[in-house]
Amino acid sequence: MERHVENNRFRQEPVGGSGFCTRKAGEIGNFRQDSLGKLVAVGVKTLVLQAMTCADVTAAGDAAVKAVVGEERFAMIQSAKLLVVGAGGIGCELLKNLVLSGFREIEVVDLDTIDVSNLNRQFLFRRVHVDRPKSVVAAEAVKQFRPNANIISHHGNVKDPQFGLEFIGKFDVVVNALDNLEARRHVNRLCLAAEKPLLEAGSTGHLGQVTVIRKGETECFECQAKPSQKVYPYCTIRSTPEKPVHCLTWAKNLFDLCFGPEDESNLLADLAAEMRKFQAQESVDGEDAGRRIFAHLFEEDIKKQAQLEDLWSDQRPPPGPLCYEDALKNTERPSTDADKDKLETQKVPSVAGDAQGFVAAVAKMYGERRELIGQSSFSKDDPVAMDFVHCAANLRMQNYRIGRLSRWDAQSIAGSIIPAVASTNAIVAGLEVVQLLHVLQSVGKNMKDSKARTVWVRFPEPSRKKILQPSSLHTPNPDCFVCGSRTARVALRSLEECKIMALAKGCIQGQLGAHKPALYANGSCIFDPEYPEPGEEAEEEGLHPEWSLSQWGLTSGSLLQVEDEGQGWSINLVIREEPDLDEQLYPGGFKVSQWPTQWWLQVEAGAGAGEEAAKDMAEKKRKAEADAAEATAAKKAQLDANTVALDD
Ligand SMILES: Nc1ncnc2c1ncn2[C@@H]1O[C@H](COP(=O)(O)OP(=O)(O)OP(=O)(O)O)[C@@H](O)[C@H]1O
Ligand SMILES: [Zn+2]
């Protein structure tokens, strides 16, 4: 039995009540909460599900669809050019629905290959397809339903440059079936820049959502802040873990620290120099490095932590160091009666197993993965990374007397996994097609006058016994830094200490979702994504990624322009030094907020200076925005000039 999971968490649930429009009889919201099976059977009047009953190919299918939607809509369906992003749980259902609904011009992008764990819910795939690209197999499969459909597949990351503005510009509508925030943010920005409508969808267990985004008319994907990942206080992770999740967070940071690019926002960045020592030699022996890292982290560092008397009490005893040889002797596995029905990965290993597993994972990184050292980052789907994190977290749990975990449980927690439900994906994909029809019919009209809605799938706690809940589309948030004011504030602890590369990576990429941002101050480029690390080439270009913000002449209140050409997105940043920025809440050293004018003024005025200060700030802000607009225009003119020169 394989584990089948997905992590499609994407949006907070609505607060309920206001904002939800009432359902009309016969529309998609007319379901009752009897069961999910009944849900699919009862009240289904949608085009999608009607078309799905027609398993047979081409003409008969087309005739059935035409009979349901009428000639005019059918012509619209047949000519619409669609881009589907993602061919996983929702994407497979979506592609099948689209071709059975008569759509013929479809391109699909997916970066992944088929894993055996996908087969229980991604019904276009079979065991023989394992390891083949999802986009290619999905396109082949749905073409069998409708051989007259023109389906083009792309095996690649939608963030790659070939899927930029020009590519997106070819389509009438983009339909997302993704599972992660970064890719969604990226496609959102591309669609805004290319002025193409976007259908956004996601599911988490029994919850799902579909919504419509059209520039200037509806909220974009980033108009509302997304629930951010839970942040644990730095000292809990670094010194006083109490729960397995604290140790797993530590281990994920450790993996990135050991095998990823330099990152000052890593919670264990203070260990970087020591870890680099283990990697310093040209031909590091992986096993040896593993044992030395083991001794450093689980024995020596723990001894030091145990000596910090202030941290420990009777309720919280100091951690116990673990030496490698002793760990190898501890071969007993904690087992229960229930264990006999479990898979091996569902059982907790012995401490010896964890110690050997840790060293083996390090050895693999230095063996078959050697050329990826310095470029890797933790993924729950990467077996070597997951082995490393599971064993490292368990060894730390042993240090701190916290109950260790099976690999299964470690993977669930480390990947924030909520099991995928195939029915939810099917419902969400069906709703996407319904909304797609509304969007196509709204071309040239105001979105407000269309039937397009955000629709929530809520189970097992539906609102007023309705599992499907439509709500009106919201107008854009004027303060949104992506589609609205385009100005954000970043507070940082120290301009003196913060390097420009840390700002670009930790804050502008990590928190603001930029893909490859270039940073400008006073019209000059101070960070170029082509030269993200210090080196001779960067220096030749007059760039110094390792310089601090004060070395670049920035002061509290300075204005920066961020340009992300790949995303067709730009933003103005006002930076502000806040030495008291809470270290626990903002371990990366940055706090980002949008530019809600009133709030800014209140904070500044509230700091004591009264109305005068408020006026002063308003004037400063006006000037800052004018400067920003001017600088952006100057940069654009410069870019245009460059383009002409190159073309010549
Ligand atoms: N940046 C991206 N570019 C292209 N495709 C992407 C990108 N990010 C995610 N995807 C694709 O989106 C799909 C999402 O599908 P789904 O949520 O079912 O995830 P999964 O990877 O198939 O399942 P699981 O994560 O549970 O193993 C995946 O096929 C994934 O490869
Ligand atoms: Zn927005």
Based on the fold, state whether residues 190 and 285 are members of the same structural domain: no
Based on the fold, state whether residues 532 and 450 are members of the same structural domain: no
478 assigned to some structural domain: no
Q: Is it the case that residue 503 has pLDDT exceeding 80?
A: yes
Q: Cβ distance 543 to 551 under 8 Å?
A: no
477 assigned to some structural domain: no
Based on the fold, state whether residues 427 and 297 are members of the same structural domain: no
- Return the structure tokens found at 501: 């590369």
Q: Which of 390, 415, 440 finishes a domain?
A: 415
- Report, as an integer, the average pLDDT of 611-640: 49
Helical packing angle, 272-279 and 286-294, nearest 10° = 150
**Alpha-carbon distance 525 to 513, whole Å?**
20
Each residue of 335-352: pLDDT tens digit? Answer: 777 777 788 889 999 999
526 assigned to some structural domain: yes
191 assigned to some structural domain: yes
- Listed residues: CB within 5 A of ion ligand 2: 220, 222-223, 480, 482-483
The closest-lying atom of ligand 1 relative to the alpha carbon of residue 86 is: 12
Q: Is it the case that residue 562 has pLDDT exceeding 60?
A: yes
Q: Is it the case that residue 571 has pLDDT exceeding 70?
A: yes
Compute, in angstroms, the gap from residue 217 CA to the centroid of ligand 2: 10
Based on the fold, state whether residues 411 and 432 are members of the same structural domain: no
Based on the fold, state whether residues 390 and 446 are members of the same structural domain: no
Helical packing angle, 407-414 and 244-259, nearest 10° = 80
Per-residue pLDDT band at 315 (split at 50, 70, 90): confident
**Alpha-carbon distance 624 to 636, whole Å?**
18
- Return the structure tokens found at 192: 């805004």
Q: Is it the case that residue 325 has pLDDT exceeding 90?
A: yes
Q: Whose CA is nearest to atom 20 of ligand 1?
A: 88
Q: Whose CA is nearest to atom 16 of ligand 1?
A: 88
Give the CATH number for residue 509: 3.10.290.20
| pLDDT of amino acid 608 | 34
Q: Is it the case that residue 552 has pLDDT exceeding 90?
A: yes
| pLDDT of amino acid 465 | 74
Please give the mean pLDDT across all residues of the chain: 82
Based on the fold, state whether residues 392 and 253 are members of the same structural domain: yes
Based on the fold, state whether residues 276 and 346 are members of the same structural domain: yes
Of 599 and 587, more confident: 587
pTM equals 0.70
178 assigned to some structural domain: yes
Beta strands in 95-142 (DSSP E): 105-110
Pocket of ligand 1 (CB under 6 A): 5-8, 86-89, 91, 109-112, 117-118, 134, 157-159, 178-180, 183, 381, 420
Share of the chain above pLDDT 90, in %: 53
Q: Is it the case that residue 295 has pLDDT exceeding 60?
A: yes
| pLDDT of amino acid 636 | 43
The annotation status of 498 as a binding-site residue, yes or no, is no
- Report, as an integer, the average pLDDT of 225-239: 77
Each residue of 79-108: pLDDT tens digit? Answer: 999 999 999 999 999 999 999 999 999 999
Per-residue pLDDT band at 557 (split at 50, 70, 90): confident
- Report, as an integer, the average pLDDT of 140-154: 95
| pLDDT of amino acid 285 | 81
Each residue of 368-418: pLDDT tens digit? Answer: 888 888 889 999 889 999 999 999 999 999 999 999 999 999 998 988 777
* Total tally of structural domains belonging to the chain: 3
Give the CATH number for residue 169: 3.40.50.720
The closest-lying atom of ligand 1 relative to the alpha carbon of residue 8 is: 17
482 assigned to some structural domain: no
Q: Cβ distance 176 to 86 under 8 Å?
A: yes
Q: Whose CA is nearest to atom 2 of ligand 1?
A: 157
Q: Which residues are catalytic?
A: 235
Each residue of 411-449: pLDDT tens digit? Answer: 989 887 778 899 999 999 999 999 999 999 999 899 989
Q: Highest-confidence range of 466-470, 604-608, 632-636, by mean pLDDT?
A: 466-470
ipTM, interface predicted TM-score of the complex: 0.98
Residue 292 burial class via C-beta count within 10 angstroms: exposed 0-12, middle 13-18, buried 19 and up: middle
274 assigned to some structural domain: yes
Please report which helix (H) or strand (E) contains residue 643, including its range: helix 610-647
Per-residue pLDDT band at 635 (split at 50, 70, 90): very low
Question: SS3 of 263, please?
Answer: coil
**Alpha-carbon distance 84 to 153, whole Å?**
10
Q: Highest-confidence range of 283-287, 326-330, 641-645, by mean pLDDT?
A: 326-330
| pLDDT of amino acid 43 | 34
Of 279 and 574, more confident: 574
Residue 131 burial class via C-beta count within 10 angstroms: exposed 0-12, middle 13-18, buried 19 and up: exposed
Please report which helix (H) or strand (E) contains residue 245, including its range: helix 244-259
- Report, as an integer, the average pLDDT of 599-627: 44
The annotation status of 119 as a binding-site residue, yes or no, is yes
135 assigned to some structural domain: yes
| pLDDT of amino acid 566 | 85
Chain centroid offset of residue 501 CA: 21
Of 455 and 333, more confident: 455
Based on the fold, state whether residues 325 and 397 are members of the same structural domain: yes
Give the CATH number for residue 371: 1.10.10.520
**Beta-strand relationship, 105-110 and 81-85:** parallel
Of 45 and 437, more confident: 437
Compute, in angstroms, the gap from residue 178 CA to the centroid of ligand 1: 6
Q: Is it the case that residue 15 has pLDDT exceeding 50?
A: no
Based on the fold, state whether residues 493 and 635 are members of the same structural domain: yes
| pLDDT of amino acid 19 | 25
Based on the fold, state whether residues 135 and 10 are members of the same structural domain: yes
The annotation status of 220 as a binding-site residue, yes or no, is yes
Based on the fold, state whether residues 381 and 450 are members of the same structural domain: no
Q: Is it the case that residue 228 has pLDDT exceeding 80?
A: no
Based on the fold, state whether residues 494 and 558 are members of the same structural domain: yes
Question: SS3 of 470, please?
Answer: strand
Of 591 and 84, more confident: 84
- Report, as an integer, the average pLDDT of 583-609: 55
- Least confident among 23-27, 205-209, 584-588: 23-27
Compute, in angstroms, the gap from residue 486 CA to the centroid of ligand 2: 9
**Alpha-carbon distance 590 to 597, whole Å?**
20
The annotation status of 266 as a binding-site residue, yes or no, is no
Neighbouring C-alpha atoms within 13 Å toward the C-beta of 34:
10
Compute, in angstroms, the gap from residue 189 CA to the centroid of ligand 2: 9
- Report, as an integer, the average pLDDT of 191-214: 95
Cα distances from 526 to residues 239, 377, 522, 551, in angstroms, run: 37, 26, 10, 11
What domain range is 285 assigned to? Answer: 234-415
**Nearest CA among 382, 400, 475, 327 for reference residue 115:** 382
